[in-house]
C-alpha cells in the first residue's frame, strides 16, 4: 500500500551547473555536462536535458569565442604589417 508520498527523483546538480557555466565559462560548462551525463546514467537521476543543453551551449560558445580571438589576432597581425 502506498503512503501517498511518491518518491522524488532528484535532479543532478552537475547538470544544473553545466547549463549555468555554459554561459559563464563555456568549456567548463561542456565538461560539467559530460560528467553529469555519466552520473545521471549511473545513478538514475533527472537532468539529462540540462546536461545536454550545457554540453551543446558550452561547446558552441567555446567555438565562437575561439573564432573571435583568432579573428582579432589575424586582424592585429594584418594591421601591424600594413
| Residue written as grid cell 522524488 | 8
pTM for the complete prediction?
A: 0.84
> Quick one: average pLDDT of 17-33?
97
Cα(15)–Cα(42) distance, rounded to whole angstroms?
14
Is residue 36 within 8 Å of residue 12, measured between CB atoms? yes
Compute the distance between CA of residue 22 and CA of residue 33 in angstroms, rounded to an integer: 9
Domain ranges of the chain: 13-81
Give SS3 for 46: strand
Inter-residue contact 47 to 15 (CB < 8 Å): yes
Q: What average pLDDT is seen over the chain?
A: 94
pLDDT, position 6:
74
Amino acid at each position: 500500500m502506498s503512503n501517498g508520498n511518491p518518491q522524488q527523483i532528484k535532479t543532478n546538480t552537475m547538470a544544473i551547473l553545466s547549463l549555468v557555466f555554459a554561459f559563464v565559462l563555456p568549456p567548463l560548462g561542456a565538461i560539467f555536462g559530460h560528467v553529469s551525463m555519466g552520473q545521471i546514467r549511473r545513478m538514475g537521476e533527472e537532468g539529462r536535458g540540462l546536461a545536454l543543453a550545457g554540453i551543446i551551449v558550452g561547446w558552441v560558445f567555446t567555438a565562437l569565442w575561439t573564432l573571435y580571438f583568432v579573428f582579432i589576432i589575424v586582424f592585429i597581425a594584418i594591421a601591424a604589417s600594413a
